[in-house]
Structure 1
Amino acid sequence: MTLGVSGVMSRISELQDQLGLNPAPAAPAGATSGTTFASALADATRGGSPGSGVAGPSGGDIVAAAKKYLGTPYVFGGTDPAKGLDCSALVQRAYKDLGVDLPRIASDQARAGRPVASMADAKPGDILAFNSPVDHVGIYVGDNKMIAAPKPGDHVKIQSVYEKPVAIRRVLEDTPAAVLQDISSLRPAGLRTSGGLSGVPYADLFVKAGEKYDVPPKLLAAVAKVESGYDPKAVSPAGAQGLMQLMPGTARGLGVSNAFDPAQAVNGAAKLLSQHLKEFKSVPLALAAYNAGGGAVHKYDGIPPFAETQAYVPKVQKALAALGG
């Protein structure tokens, strides 16, 4: 069942109650605009980080946002819907209405998010890019249809995908239902013991560090699972080290003298995640900051549009769900 914009806004309200955050301002009766949605979503995360809530906008929401501009005249270089839009402005505007920032130029949009292998794997909301070099983009609707601003003299409309795209990009990942857990279950107060971590390597370290830094032990375990597969000797191609894959400079800043020592690594990771959770007040944003750095999260006002980070956050959320988090 697809929630749609109004359904997701209702879910956001529930999450706010569970988190103890201030509720989003009441929307006018019947208001379901992209601006309203993005505002509510931002309030439900860290009060200004749209596009990165626990549920987050879906591909279907992107399609719905784009459909608001059906009939808008095509104007080359146009970015104002009241006057006209070109193809990349339509794509940028639809995503922006839901709080997700994209580049302005079609060729840059064709590198956003992560690649999708083929049209058989495409989902609503994916960006379809055409020609080489890329000079045209649209938003996939489903059933081999897309919404696009085609050419001068035309207007924003739904049309068939008339040729094979040179690139298909997925900016938003659908969050599995299992990950849409009550945020109250992530509260450290409810995870002071190793319950649910039976058989997980280094469970005692996750519990001890989680208690010290007020971080859910299951979240630490999920990060370790994705980062290293619980291998304390792991080294990434970029040079990240140990169980929690800390970069040497980051490790030093956290007071970790040996990232290959599991106890030090978990303690350092817990300290880092605690800082990110307090700063961003959002598990997905804290995970994005752990992967890409807090500066990148601030720069993009949400989960950065890096393929690695876009894939990393849902991976950890899935690992967390598998642990019953």
Structure 2
Amino acid sequence: MTVYETQARVAEIRSRIGLGAPAATGGGDAFAAALQSTMDTQRAVTGATVVEAAKKYLGTPYVFGGTNPESGLDCSGLVQRAYADLGVKLPRVAKDQAREGTAVADLAHARPGDLLAFGSPVDHVAIYVGDNRMIAAPHAGDVVKIQPVYETPSAIRRIVPTASLDPQSLSGAALAGGGLAGGGLRAGALSAGSVAAAALRPAALTGVPYADLFQQAGARYGLAPALLAAVAKVESGYNPAAVSGAGAQGLMQLMPATARGLGVDALDPAQAVDGAARMLSSNLERFGSLDLAIAAYNAGGGAVSRYGGIPPFAQTQAYVPKVKAAMEQLAGRGFA
């Protein structure tokens, strides 16, 4: 990470916790002091304090669109309020909150205070308490409560870092000669984004071919990796050399014309997954429905628009539930 990337990360942290930008001064010691000031403030906010902040609203009625605990809260309203009480600014709606912070690989690695997002696109969010429990505003007719994590989250995001930075490792001596002056922090010296960088590395999940590609593309385009993996499973059985009778090619079974339009090689797994992810992301944005996005991947967006829903083609009618069933199977194996 370069000095500029590290400074940008500091600015991001300061913005998130409501601090202004540090004065621009030169030198490693000045930068270390600015970073230490930021981290001293952030240390006051921990996963445990987030959970305690959220617990203050236990029993508050669920109200769709609610942001005022005196009248009611919805799921994202609860999350936003709990973090705001600690000086941490989050977006208003669940799908935007699910892009904040850094990614957590799975529930086994989740810690109290992490955000649990559900649905693809995200339509529900909660705060992890620990021991497979979460605090949430579930739905109309219910109240803010602690409940089991009833399904595999589609995303887990860590807003509050769990590792503190050692100011000594960011001293002028650590940053000089071979440190930031050499284009990045020396080995052993933590950067402001080191925890985030580690969390964002895709985990190699056994039993799911090309798992890293699905995770990387999912993070890049805001998709559940399980959706990409499920499409690959249904389309080609994870075979990067597959060619259908109609001429569709590769892991994601892209037609040659489609691959050319996307600027990818359908027989190259990394390019194919990237192209498919762009298509599915575009379909989701266009149709606002997972079922229709999957249908459009199979039959084309024009057919979905023309019929105002899943086209009455036998192949497409069978394709959508197959992909969704594959997603459920992957989620059951911990790949979501």
Same fold (TM over 0.5): no
Larger radius of gyration: 2
TM range (shorter): 0.3 to 0.5
